[in-house]
Amino acid sequence: AQSVSQHNHHVILSEAASLELGCNYSYGGTVNLFWYVQYPGQHLQLLLKYFSGDPLVKGIKGFEAEFIKSKFSFNLRKPSVQWSDTAEYFCAVMTRGGADGLTFGKGTHLIIQP
Amino acid sequence: KAGVTQTPRYLIKTRGQQVTLSCSPISGHRSVSWYQQTPGQGLQFLFEYFSETQRNKGNFPGRFSGRQFSNSRSEMNVSTLELGDSALYLCASSLQGTNEKLFFGSGTQLSVL
């Protein structure tokens, strides 16, 4: 079964700082990759996803992620964070066959200080 | 369009009891998947149902089961509850499967005493 590792459990940044959240997965085959976000008091929602093609994918609210196959990574980035980006971020992986369902990382709690 | 609705919002049970959680997906969505969220293990996939059939199953004991009805509503059942089953149980729906954008509900917070 695949596993997903998010390196930082808690990240604190100031507004306008650049953000990069790490995500690595263990599966050696073809995967579909996702980042989900949960803002305070809200439901989990999809930020962006990668299935194939351009390894640099853009999502909502100025977020992007880069798939690096050789590193089994799918890191999330944003050039300049805002206070409203304070949230829990989850990386998730699904193998193409999908038999194991969607595997989530344990999440990164991001706090943006004004 | 109404979102994913989970009931009840909170549940308190004692060890050995059983519990049933309900999930109503967004209208038109045929896939419903269930997840257990705990501080220690994070979000873990339980199972996915599509058109009343279980399509995928996570690594959970047989005490965890589910079903889906013809209107796509889904129920999850946990029998012989253990303290470790205390968690937030999330349901998500999508048009065709978990490879698509999932729409999550607010969850059911289960406490086992």
> pLDDT tens across B59-95, in order?
999 999 999 999 999 999 999 999 999 999 999 999 9
Residue B45 CA to residue B48 CA, distance in Å, equals 8
Label residues B15-45 b or e (16+ Cβ within 10 Å = b).
eeeebebebbbbeebbbbbbbbbeeeebbbb
3-class SS at B99?
coil
Cβ-based contacts of A49 with chain B (< 8 Å): 101
Does the beta-carbon distance from B56 to A46 stay under 8 Å?
no
Kindly state the DSSP code that residue B85 receives in the 8-state scheme.
G
Q: Which amino acid is at A78?
A: K
Does the beta-carbon distance from B90 to A44 stay under 8 Å?
yes
**pLDDT tens figures, B32-68:** 999 999 988 889 999 999 999 999 899 999 999 999 9
Rg for chain B, CA atoms, rounded: 13
